[in-house]
Chains A and B, each alone.
Chain A
Amino acid sequence: MTVTPAKTSAKTTISGLPQRGRVSWFEIILLAVCAIWVALGLAPTLQDVVVLSFLFGGLALAWNIAGGCAGLISFGHAAFFGIGAYTSTILFQSYNLTPWLGIFVGAVAAALAGAVLSVICARLKGPFFILSSLAFSEVVRIIVLNWSSVTGGAEGLSIPPVPDLANMVLGSKTAYEALMLAYLALAYAITRWLEASRIGFYLFAVRDNDDAAAAAGINPLMVRSLAMAMSAALTGIGGTLFAQYFLYLDPTYVVSPELSFQFALLPAVGGLGTAIGPILGSFLITPLSELLRANLGNAAAGLHLVFYSVGLIIVMLYFPSGIAGAIDKLRQPRSPP
């Protein structure tokens, strides 16, 4: 389901359209446009949507490291998101640790959780893995909901909405746009770096055929744990950023299966295993779901989701390789062997 890999001899140049293994002009221009958009402060009424699109773009890329590159389709990533968000927030509220540092602690905590999940699911594949990741996430959610003394239970946690740069509470939506775009860019850079590195190759090998990978000297459990830990850490960072933007953590959303589903959906629609896919997925779906909610949410409760879900089914059945896959097919019709 990935786009065709770049010819390895051409890896040092920049390609036109997206390819695995090298940066393309398409992505550079896209990121540049985003940066300019933020700098110019365009579309002030849409800033919430823009912030979310960037954030979820980064979260989609984070999920993609485990799901797209290593083949670990997880529906439990909300657990890592929540661990990151809650860790930094609790450290801030109870110990006055600035979220600029707390974000790293959250990332480490999420990474550990990711490694634990990986070990639990060491021998599982396919739907078994998916279900286990779901169960894992549910365990985390129930703990968060019930450990009220630490997590605030069902009431959640809130951060005072007082702009405070030293504690990552920014003054303007434009500033948040910039923060989220930086996160997106970081996630993108990590993905591109992975694709060109030995570790990244090991991820792909374990995804495509882990018997063959083992026969080549790769320890599949170690590689999967590493992939999950990286993915979880990056997701946890997104969690902290989310907490610092919304300034309120609602456990029924933050560690929910619905959120986990979103993390998996965006890369799937955009193109699994690619660097551009998750970004495209987020840029398409995040505004679309907000648009649908705004326009149809009033007509009848649930109508917007009816359209959303039907659209999803159609996309999955007819474009299984996602947007990136569709672009790739246009660019390069398959030649016979």
Chain B
Amino acid sequence: MTTIIQLMVSGLLIGSIYALMSMGLTLIFGVLRVVNFAHGEFLMIAMYGAWAFNRLLGLNPYFAAIAVVPAMFLFGALVYRVVIGSALDKPHLVVVFATMGLSIFLQNAALMAMTADLRDVPPIFARSISIGHIFIKGELLLGFVVTLCCTLTLQWVIKHTFLGKAIRATVQDGEAAKLMGIAVPKIFLITFAAGSALVGLAACVMVPLFSVFPTVGLNFVLIAFVIVVLGGMGSIEGALLGGFCVGVVQSVSAYYVAPAFGQLFFFLLFLLVTIFRPNGLLGQKGAATLGMNE
């Protein structure tokens, strides 16, 4: 019994961190309607940044967020300007291949700059926290807290600020938003940059838990995709819920079946969701059938 609870708790916590990593992706999809296939590489770059911060300044990677998050915001804005912006009015395939190309570029640029060696940050917390018989790693719990705060902040911004309203308007009807004086391309830019900044935050939280290497993005991007679809593309709360599901499924199946099969189960979960609830658990009705450019 304790085992199951332990697995579920660990699963929920790691799932929340996965969710944080996926929020940027779902936000970008919800507003721009593009899937950034280089999402994993954005995470990788930010993780290297957090690691470097820790190595060079000896500071806690959580403090690195002060530098990494704004840096990722600017990086996202740059990528939007150079690659994404001009691809938006072209057939959908162009964005797909352009971001895939970007993904390969970033992986190999990192390989050239940093070599394939694994980089780690020393653990922050000396001991796990224990509640009864359940052990919780401090880094996981902190990640969970950061994710919740982030979710609440995002929800507040979306509901109560003008920017949030402008974003919601753009999501619902880009043409009408333009006519109302909303600079839709600027909204796209801000959203893409903000999504990238979110990835930066996730990286700071993940660096104490995972090693960094040039292809680390590949593992995580697939998880992020599953979470985004599971939760409903464009839904922040959905990403959180999706993250929890994935975390728990992975945790439980890795223990009871085999670690290698951990991934298999959440892909199967993904496929089941796409068959039976393609809009995800909390997504807009019809989102999955709208696709692109229609």
Contacts and interface: CB of A to CB of B under 8 A. Distances in A.
Interface of A: 1, 73, 120-132, 134-136, 138-139, 142-143, 145-146, 257, 261, 264-265, 268, 272, 300-303, 305-306, 308-310, 312-313, 316-317, 320
Nearest to A129: B291
B275 to A, nearest CB: 5
Given A136-B271, A309-B101, A313-B101, A124 B225 contact: no
A261 B29 CA distance: 21
Given A313-B83, A320-B91, A132 B291 contact: no
Given A124-B289, A125-B292, A308-B104, A134 B222 contact: yes
8 contacts: A124-B289, A126-B293, A127-B34, A128-B278, A301-B115, A309-B103, A309-B104, A310-B101
Contacts of B96: 73, 127, 130
Contacts of B29: 127
Given A309-B104, A313-B98, A126 B264 contact: no
A46 to B, nearest CB: 25
A66 to B, nearest CB: 13
Contact of B112 (A120, A121, A145, A303): A303
Nearest to A322: B93
B289 A317 contact: no
Name the residue in A1, A261, A264, A316 with the highest tally of chain B Cβ atoms < 10 Å from its Cβ: A316
Given A142-B260, A312-B104, 15 more contacts: A73-B96, A123-B289, A124-B289, A127-B92, A130-B35, A135-B271, A136-B271, A145-B260, A146-B260, A301-B115, A306-B109, A309-B102, A309-B104, A310-B105, A316-B87
Given A128-B229, A139-B267, A306 B94 contact: no
A305 B100 CA distance: 12
B167 interface: no
B86 A142 contact: no
A132 B107 CA distance: 23
B291 A128 contact: yes
A128 B274 contact: yes
B73 interface: no
Given A303-B112, A313-B83, A268 B93 contact: yes
B290 interface: yes
B288 A125 contact: yes
Nearest to A209: B294
B226 interface: yes
Interface of B: 29, 34-35, 83, 86-87, 90-94, 96-98, 100-105, 107-109, 111-112, 115-116, 214, 218, 222, 225-226, 229, 233, 258, 260-261, 263-264, 267-268, 270-271, 274-275, 278, 288-293
A306 B111 CA distance: 10
A313 B102 contact: yes
Contacts of A145: 260
Contact of B264 (A131, A142, A317): A142
Contact of A124 (B87, B104, B115, B288): B288
Contacts of B103: 309
A313 B293 CA distance: 20
Contacts of A301: 111-112, 115-116
Contact of A139 (B105, B268, B290): B268
B274 A126 contact: no
Contacts of A128: 229, 233, 274, 278, 288, 291
Contacts of A313: 83, 97-98, 101-102, 105
A145 B83 CA distance: 36
